[in-house]
Amino acid sequence: MALSVDTTPAKHVTVLRNGDIKYEGRKFVVSRRRYRTFDSLLSDITHQISAPFGAVRRLYTPKGSRQIRAIDDLEGGGTYIAGGSERFKKLDYNPTQLPTKNWGFTPNVKPGFLADDPPPLVLPKKNKRYAQRSAQ
């Protein structure tokens, strides 16, 4: 007796909240083994993204041009917008423009920046005469 094994590869998708451009998104691995129905996927998304609008009932493409209705409609590496019963909000959901956490690190500042090229000294008006006298 042969067992049927689903060999369809899993899809990695990112899910964003409808109307929230500051939300960085949550990544999901979607496979037929983990989610047998589309409703089970929507239920898991509801719990994972803590949607302020309640239960996730719809998934949209980032442009809102179409609604995802089945697991087979998802594309691997795709980004989708999770929505409730409200309409799709047309915003720029481009994940490359979303703010990223840099944990206080500023990549534009080179090591030794302050020693090589200090910023100009800004003095209040009443101290400008004193600064001019001491420079002469």
Strand pairing partners for 11? 30
Q: What is this structure's pTM?
A: 0.63
In the numeric block, the tokens 């929230």 are attached to 20
Average pLDDT, stretch 34-39?
A: 90
CA distances from 134 to 11, 119, 124, 130 (A): 69, 19, 15, 6
Percent of the chain topping pLDDT 90: 11
Residue of 108 and 120 predicted with greater confidence: 120
E strand or H helix that includes residue 46: helix 38-49
H-run or E-run covering 59: strand 58-60
Tokens 């609604």 locate to: 67
Residue 28 CA to residue 51 CA, distance in Å, equals 15
pLDDT of residue 126: 65
Mean pLDDT of 71-75: 88
The pLDDT-based confidence of 98 (bands split at 50, 70, 90) is very low
Yes or no: say if 93 and 16 are a contact pair by the CB < 8 Å rule: yes
pLDDT of 76 > 70? The answer is yes
In whole angstroms, give the CA distance from residue 42 to residue 55.
8
Give the pLDDT mean for 95-108: 54
Chain position carrying tokens 């998934």: 59
pLDDT at 110: 55
Higher pLDDT, 104 or 10: 10
Is pLDDT at 9 greater than 70 in this prediction? yes
Backbone φ and ψ for 14, nearest 5 degrees, come out as -110, 135
